[in-house]
Amino acid sequence: MDNCLFCKIIEGSIPSKKVFENDQVLAFYDIQPAAREHVLIIPKKHISTMNDVTDEDDQVMAEIFAAARKIASELGIAESGYRLVNNCNRDSGQVVFHLHFHLLGGEKLGPLN
């Protein structure tokens, strides 16, 4: 997808600090962390928002959640706790229109809103 920041990160034309990668999923540290640990988990397939996920994406969605569990465990925050967040469209403040889940933890998190 032209002009998509996260597609460029997947291609490697924009660098990122990778945490996890497989055929369908990439995870990397957020450039502006909102918690001590802040990882973004994305599908390699360009999907703009949560609204654009279809039944065909069941496998990649399962891979995203599997990656979240694995990363939380590897970061040592699975037991202390973490939050997995998706922003969808304007009211959520979504900025990058390539589906992503924020994995946040490593400290006591504030209220959701």
Q: State which of positions 37-66 bind Zn ion (CB under 5 A).
A: 46
Window 18-37: residues binding ligand 5GP (CB under 6 A):
28-32
Residue 53 binds ligand 5GP, judged by CB under 6 A: no
- Sign for the CA dihedral angle at 66, 73, 16, 92 comes to positive
- The tally of CA atoms less than 13 A away on the side-chain side of residue 69 is 5
Choose the contact partner of 111 out of Zn ion, ligand 5GP, none; CB within 5 to 8 A by kind: none
Chosen residue from 24, 48, 49, 87 binding ligand 5GP by CB under 6 A: 87
> Does 46 participate in catalysis according to the annotation?
no
By CB under 6 A, is residue 96 in contact with ligand 5GP? yes
- Cα dihedral 96, 98, 63, 8 sign: negative
